[in-house]
Amino acid sequence: MNEIISTKNSTFSFAGKRTWITGHRGMLGSALVRSLSKEGANLLLASRQELDLSNQSAVHDWVDQNRPELIFHVGAKVGGIHANATYPADFLYGNLMIQTNVIDAAHHYGVKKLVFVASNCIYPAIAAQPISEDSIMTGPLENNIRSYAISKIAGIELCRAYRKQYGCNFISVIPPNLYGPGDNYHLQHSHVVAGILRRAHEAKQAGKREFVVWGDGTPRREILYVDDVAEAMKCLMAAPMTHDMFNVGCGYDFSIAELANLIAEVVGFEGSVVYDTSKPNGTMGKLLDNSRIQAIGWRPKVDEKTGLQNAYKDFLSLLETPNRSSRL
């Protein structure tokens, strides 16, 4: 089905458009594949074996041969707070290499528009809530995620620089904590929703009376279902350029304690939560101001109850899947 996306000021169709999604096997990349393939986009996809995004000449050659018109640059090294604190060099080096190659090749081969995925951790650790896009680089970053944050700030700045110097139509999106089908449920390296979901499930299966949640439960996080972020990125790809960075959020957040209770309910775990305060709280709050993207007509469609139920189904089906280890 060829859906015409209408934003406030434009109509746009992805049908037939040569569209490269980097990181198409990850949670967000695969949500974009699902959505764009329904619309008849001419998807250009390269697996990690076919193309090493950290190899500059390989990326240039691939873009030269495949000539994408549009790029969703999703591919990145990602992980939760513990992974970020443990592997800062991998996050900083890996993401700088990958995004620099993709963004430079996009300019070199005349890509019409590129949407770069950043993260809410780019904002200062202490920022007025909800956090507007203008808060970037106004204060110190949260220590555990600094390397990843700096890699993403560099990506945003690179898009800006190519726009300023060469007139490239490159923009950045800033999503909150994502969750949904395709997530990584690794006990140490996952993000908060997937980590809690797995621990609640395992406690239920083992007949335990409690399960562990990291930190003290008081930090607040905004969560967003992955398909909603994919739709926001499509809207932004289709929309005329009004700004070069856009927060993509639902506009409200939960304390980690509230989130743990919500997830326990979805999983059907009836015991209680204990807090492991040897694990970091991280940033105390990072609710995004979503007025800029709302002004172009995007709204999230999936409420957290439905989204968490879908995520739990995804987790359960993963347990049944052979060769499942890469997401567990």
Whether the Cβ atoms of residue 100 and residue 48 lie closer than 8 Å to each other: no
Establish if 249 lies at the interface with ligand GDP (CB under 6 A): no
Site string for ligand GDP, 61-100 (x = CB under 6 A): -------------------xxx------------------
Q: How crowded is residue 189: how many other Cβ atoms within 10 Å of its Cβ?
A: 18
Residue of 87, 93, 109, 148 marked catalytic: 148
Q: How crowded is residue 162: how many other Cβ atoms within 10 Å of its Cβ?
A: 18
Alpha-carbon gap, residue 138 to 122, rounded angstroms: 10
Q: How far is the CB of 233 from ligand GDP (least distance, A)?
A: 20
Q: How far is the CB of 68 from ligand GDP (least distance, A)?
A: 30
Q: How crowded is residue 30: how many other Cβ atoms within 10 Å of its Cβ?
A: 19
Establish if 221 lies at the interface with ligand GDP (CB under 6 A): yes
Q: Which of 23, 68, 195, 300 binds ligand GDP (CB under 6 A)?
A: 195
Q: Which of 53, 111, 121, 159 binds ligand GDP (CB under 6 A)?
A: 121
Q: 133 or 253, CB closer to ligand GDP?
A: 253
Q: Which of 145, 150, 235, 263 binds ligand GDP (CB under 6 A)?
A: 145
Establish if 29 lies at the interface with ligand GDP (CB under 6 A): no
Structural tokens at position 29? 């990349």
Whether the Cβ atoms of residue 219 and residue 283 lie closer than 8 Å to each other: yes
Amino acid at 253: D
Whether the Cβ atoms of residue 186 and residue 256 lie closer than 8 Å to each other: no
Q: Which of 177, 184, 261, 310 binds ligand GDP (CB under 6 A)?
A: 177
Q: 247 or 283, CB closer to ligand GDP?
A: 283
Q: 151 or 169, CB closer to ligand GDP?
A: 151
Distance of CA 112 to the CA centre of its chain: 22
Q: 102 or 149, CB closer to ligand GDP?
A: 149
Q: Site for ligand GDP (CB under 6 A): how many residues?
A: 23
C-alpha distances in Å from residue 12, one per residue of 5, 9, 235, 237, 271 = 5, 10, 9, 9, 50
Site string for ligand GDP, 282-321 (x = CB under 6 A): xx--------------------------------------
Q: How far is the CB of 215 from ligand GDP (least distance, A)?
A: 3
Q: Give one DSSP letter per residue of 217-257, joined into a string.
A: S--EE-EEEHHHHHHHHHHHHHSPPS-SEEE---S--EEHH
Residue 17: closest CA among 113, 92, 97 = 113
3-state secondary structure of 156: helix
Establish if 234 lies at the interface with ligand GDP (CB under 6 A): no
Structural tokens at position 172? 């950045």
Active site residue 275: no
Q: How far is the CB of 261 from ligand GDP (least distance, A)?
A: 12
Residues contacting residue 300 through CB under 8 Å, at least 6 positions apart: 224, 225, 228, 232, 250
Alpha-carbon gap, residue 127 to 283, rounded angstroms: 10
Q: How far is the CB of 172 from ligand GDP (least distance, A)?
A: 17
Structural tokens at position 101? 């190659």
Q: How far is the CB of 283 from ligand GDP (least distance, A)?
A: 6
Using CB under 6 A, which of the segments 25-33, 101-109, 186-194, 237-245 binds ligand GDP?
186-194
Q: How far is the CB of 221 from ligand GDP (least distance, A)?
A: 5
Active site (catalytic) residues: 148
Applying CB under 6 A, the residues found at the interface with ligand GDP are 80-82, 121, 145, 177, 190-192, 195-196, 199, 213-215, 219, 221, 256, 279-283
